Structure 1
Amino acid sequence: MTHRTRFLALACAWSALVLAALLTGPLALRDRLPDPIATHWGLSGAADDATSLALFPLLPVVIWVVAAAFAVGVGWSGKRRSHRGTAAALLGATGVLFCGITASTIAANLDRLDWHLAVLPVWHVPVILAGAGAAGLLGFWLGNRGPDEPAEQGESSGELPLDPAKRAVWVSSANSPVMLAVGGGALLVAVAIAGVAMWRSEPMALVGAGPALLVSLVVSLFATARVHVDERGVRTALGPLRRPVRRIPLSRNTAARVASYRALEVGGWGYRLLPGSTAIMLRGGDCLVLRLTSGRDFVISVDRPDRGAELVNALLAERVL
């Protein structure tokens, strides 16, 4: 069993376990809970709003199913262990968060004759958040174990000959599991806020979903890159719409190579500007590094960067001849 297959099995088992917990608690204790049930609390812990007992588990279940499906998809489709680690972190943190919120709400309402009498202990909040954070860290540690999936076998990375009668082109791509997870998480927050607003018939509360939705769109649009190398130079298109585009003419390149970078080495994920280099960092590992005529390095995290570096160097050598 590969690490990728093991991740899929454990992720599906965890997803099913959390789903069962979210449904079993309210159903098993429904005779000891008021209807409606207190679901919103003031700063003092006193209940100030309630929801039908039948609808109480609906929102966390829907959000959990969407979040789990997203995380499992990221971990299974990604070939790098960082994909599995990010997905496992999202599964762990989100699962513990929703289970903690559900358990805390049930405990505050248990054996109360009316939802107005429910009181939420203030210490529940930091304990739940700490538990979710710990579960996220544990999930990342467990998911990040083992090697990356083997890359598809291609041609050798020796000297690249060019045929004058043909046009040489190299195209590759990469995606950022971290940015995709952030974008997906922000989208879930926006959906949750919108759902609560509609649930309570408060249209003005929909405004609160705007910032989360904006973060989701911006981050998701810059979470993927497609790199194209030909005789004109190197073109990097970001996002599913292939916009914006960063073009580096061949005349501005002096050499190309492959080097391994971690995100923190270039200042984080996304488009980064440092004193001696510029980077489009979507995930750690081997990157295409262009040495520019200005003396700066341009770093692009992309799959199979060795082939891109070979073509850039071959095109530069051809210009010298």
Structure 2
Amino acid sequence: MTDEGPRTNGRQGKGRRENARRGNGPQRGAVWGAAAWSAGVLGLLIALPWAARSRLPDRLATHWSGRNPDGAMSLTAAALFPAATWLVLVLATAAAFRFRPARSRGATGVTLATGGVLLTGAQTSIVHANLDRTRWQDAAPMGVEVVLIIAAAGLAGLLTWLATRPHQASPAGARPATGAPVPAAAPGEQLVWLSRAVNPWLQLAAAVLGLGAVGGVLAPASGLIALNWSLIVPFASTSVLVLACSSVQARVTDRGLSVGFGPFGWPSRRWSPADLESARAETRTPAQAGGWGYRINGLGTTVMLRRGVCLVVRTRRGGEFAVSVDDAERGAALLDSLISRAASPTG
């Protein structure tokens, strides 16, 4: 929950404890995703040179002065040195997140994304430059590859920052304390409710599928195999779809309800108060919804990321939309007050 509201007297400690519990889901999902990414990058750094060992010289060119190679390592060192560098980076970011979570939460994801792309890109280019050469001195020169690797690493860091940046507080206005009943939204008053939910298992599945797509790109880039789009496209597209269904953010403002999917909150669905007939909180299970993720069945549309209470709205067209997020009761109460105001003659 991002909607914390004012804290006073004895409710201060309670509010913090409730917010901490509600943050466990997204934090757990982030940890799972970081673990899968870390393990996948480590595997790629070691596997790429060893998979091509029969086509590589005894020593591999690993450093270039300008476009010409001027340093080399054995195959074992060329595989383990970047892997050890990656492990040090992962352990350092894990320690920072463990002991200073508030300060390092955003930087952790950016560091892992940037470092992982940078190291795997460099390892791929090294294998490609040494492939089918008899001596490391004959390795292909480095040029545009370096620029592309740095650009890709920067893009990965930027996208990760956009996906993990803290959600900004809503426009100034009255915001009820966490767990408190929602007062009726009077004309001219801005009441805002915001809640998120994450399914760490879906995030893990998306990370694994994404790593499969990355491996399908890096292996051809290193020269090991031919580019096979029939392998890359299914992994990449399925990863994106699963990632979009692995997290959700629901927001209620005076403009109505908006539900954003995935780490970027896009795509999204929106309803104005005039589009809705009612809102309620209702307990639903994955069995009732037809499974996990974005489901459509006799109950209508359900975004099922965790079992329990869901925010359910009925549109004036007769359909229902449900989303499993924390504090659904308060979101439904606020939305109902906005629907009543929109339906009143003076609303």
Q: TM-score, length-normalised on structure 1?
A: 0.50
Q: TM-score, length-normalised on structure 2?
A: 0.47
Structure ranking higher on relative contact order (CA contacts 8 Å, 6+ apart): 2
